[in-house]
Amino acid sequence: MATDDFLITGSGPNMTRPLALTRRLHIAALALILLSGASAPCCAGDIIAQIVERCPAQPRTFAQVTDFLHQTAETSSRVHLEVIGYSQQSRPLWLVTVTNPDRPPEEKMRLFIIARQHGNEPAGTTAALALIEHFAAAPSSLEQAVLNHLQIIAVPVANPDGAEADRRANGAGMDLNRDWVSATQPETQALQAAVEKYRPHAILDLHELPAYSKRAAYQENFLETVGASDALPSQLCAYTTAISRNISMWMSQYGYNLGVYYDYPGDSLRLCHRYLGLYQGFPTFLCEAKCGPGRPLAYRAGFHILACVVAANCLINGPVVPRRQYEQPAQVGQPPAEPAEAQLSSAAPAAPPPPTLTVQLSPWPPSRLPTPMEQSSSD
Ligand SMILES: [Zn+2]
């Protein structure tokens, strides 16, 4: 799995515990029904469990990913497949969109998923493909309604050379998630251009933590995003803090332990989520799934799937800011020419507003995924 040479040291002390659940909230499972006028599926079941069931036991090879994407695009009018560039070793960088093509794009929120910048972290790819497959099939009116209002945009394998070699770096030996300021690598350049083209309302960057690490922050799943700061656009902070709280709440419901870390101006921008969040002003979330005994691929992918679905739910329901107020990401400032290593932030985040689930749908039963110890011990 991933090596222990991570440099994410910023914001460690600002860990926020998940919200205490004072009342049982049935998340509005991507709840669009009231917006769309569609009827609520009375027995839709647990959408997270349904998507997780699509995860294979073992990671797909890059060739298998490519075949899967072609087959999905050929069989679903909701899926569009394009190449946004090529890796150092000339492998295609696939970008997939899933939405209702008959609905105007300007009416939709855009959720952008970046998976597997580190080639030896397959859970993000697995999660992205399961989400694509599920929403391509749109098995119920719920998913169909969601796709009237949401465009899922995913780069399921951002580092195909590394994926093929089962290693962290790309074909040039570069760590792509330290390349976002200098952008020397074709993979980083293609991702930056795609983000600029789609201007997402939220971005999730999916990673995995090594099973064993000396770093205190790497002992459990975590989420990292832009913290509340007067030096940052208030709308950006409202979005990131509210969505992170929502994700935290639902991780707790599903039995995933989660730490939440916040970034502030001054943190190194070389990492994708900080460059896109702190510098470019897109609500961006680093999602780190912890590896280890009792945490098989589907369990780690389930962590990413849950984060993506909750983020989508927040976008669709607009818990913080009406979408019209968030048309253009704000420019935060110039990145340092020679970025320092990640700094440890000391400022405590301001208390974010409580999450608001404004639309209640058919119950999204929080039938929990098995906890790590309930799963098999294979990794
Ligand atoms: Zn990673």
209 CA to middle of ligand 1, Å?
7
Closest CA to 238 of 338, 316, 314: 314
CA–centroid distance, residue 208 to ligand 1 (Å): 5
CA dist., res. 350 & res. 146, Å (int) = 32
Least confident of 6-10, 39-43, 337-341: 6-10
Ligand 1 centroid from CA 75, angstroms: 32
Q: How far is CA 24 from CA 20, 50, 253, 289, 313, in A?
A: 11, 22, 10, 25, 17
Residues above pLDDT 70, as percent of the chain: 72
CA 117–ligand 1 middle distance (angstroms): 6
Cα–ligand 1 centroid distance for 169 (angstroms): 10
Q: What confidence tens digit (pLDDT) does each residue in 34-45 have?
A: 233 223 333 346
CA of 175 to the centre of ligand 1 (A): 9
364: exposed, middle or buried (C-beta count within 10 Å: 0-12, 13-18, 19+)?
buried
- pTM higher than 0.85, yes or no? no
What is the C-alpha to C-alpha distance for residues 8 and 203, in angstroms, rounded to an integer?
18
Q: Compute the distance from residue 335 Cα to the ligand 1 centre, in Å.
A: 22
Beta-strand relationship, 92-98 and 79-86: antiparallel
SS3 16: strand
- Cα of 41 from ligand 1 centre, angstroms: 37
CA of 121 to the centre of ligand 1 (A): 6
Give me ligand 1 centre to Cα 288, in Å.
Answer: 7
| Count, residues in the chain | 379
Report how far ligand 1's centroid is from the alpha carbon of 37 (Å). Answer: 40
What is residue 127's predicted lDDT score, i.e. its pLDDT? 98
Contacts of 224 (CB under 8 A, 6+ apart): 8, 11, 260, 261, 262, 263, 273, 285, 286, 288
Tens-place pLDDT, residues 140-163: 888 888 999 999 999 999 999 999
Measured in Å, residue 206 CA sits from the centre of ligand 1 at 7
CA–centroid distance, 224 to ligand 1, in Å, is: 13
pLDDT band for position 92 (50/70/90)?
very high
Strands 109-115 and 92-98: unpaired
Residue boundaries of the structural domains of the chain:
12-374
pLDDT for 166 equals: 97
**How many Å lie between the centroid of ligand 1 and the Cα of residue 219?**
15
338 or 139: whose pLDDT is higher? 139
pLDDT in tens, 229-255: 899 988 898 889 889 888 888 888 888
The gap between the terminal CA atoms of the chain, to the nearest Å, is 10
Kindly give the distance from the C-alpha atom of residue 313 to the centroid of ligand 1, in angstroms, as a whole number.
Answer: 25
**CA–CA dist 275, 191 (Å, integer):** 12
pLDDT value of residue 139: 82
Distance 183 CA to ligand 1 centre (A): 17
- The three-state secondary structure class of 342 is coil
CA of 3 relative to ligand 1 center, distance in Å:
9
Give the pLDDT of residue 45. Answer: 65
Ligand 1 centroid distance, CA of 321 (Å):
30
Q: Which of 6-10, 59-63, 108-112 has the highest mean pLDDT?
A: 59-63
Choices 3.40.720.10, 3.40.309.10, 3.40.630.10, 3.20.20.140: CATH for 12-374: 3.40.630.10
Checking if the pLDDT of 71 tops 80, the result is yes
Q: Are 14 and 247 in contact (CB under 8 A)?
A: no
Q: 359: helix, coil or strand? A: coil
Close Cβ partners of 141 (under 8 Å, ≥ 6 residues apart) = 33, 38, 39, 40, 41
The pLDDT score that the predictor gives to residue 27 is 34
For residue 287, report the distance from its CA to the centre of ligand 1, in Å: 9
Instruction: Provide the pLDDT for residue 123.
Output: 98
Expressed in angstroms and rounded, the spacing between residue 45 Cα and the centre of ligand 1 is 32
85 φψ region: left (φ > 0), alpha (ψ -120 to 50), beta (else): left
* CA dist., res. 216 & res. 153, Å (int): 33
pLDDT of residue 296: 95
- What spacing in Å lies between the alpha carbon of 4 and ligand 1's midpoint? 10
Q: What does the DSSP 8-state code read for residue 341?
A: S
Task: Return the SS3 of 148.
Answer: helix
Q: Is the pLDDT of residue 342 over 80?
A: no
Is residue 260 within 8 Å of residue 222, measured between CB atoms? yes
Which one has a higher pLDDT value, 175 or 244? 175
Question: Which one of 15-29, 236-250, 290-304 scores highest in mean pLDDT?
Answer: 290-304
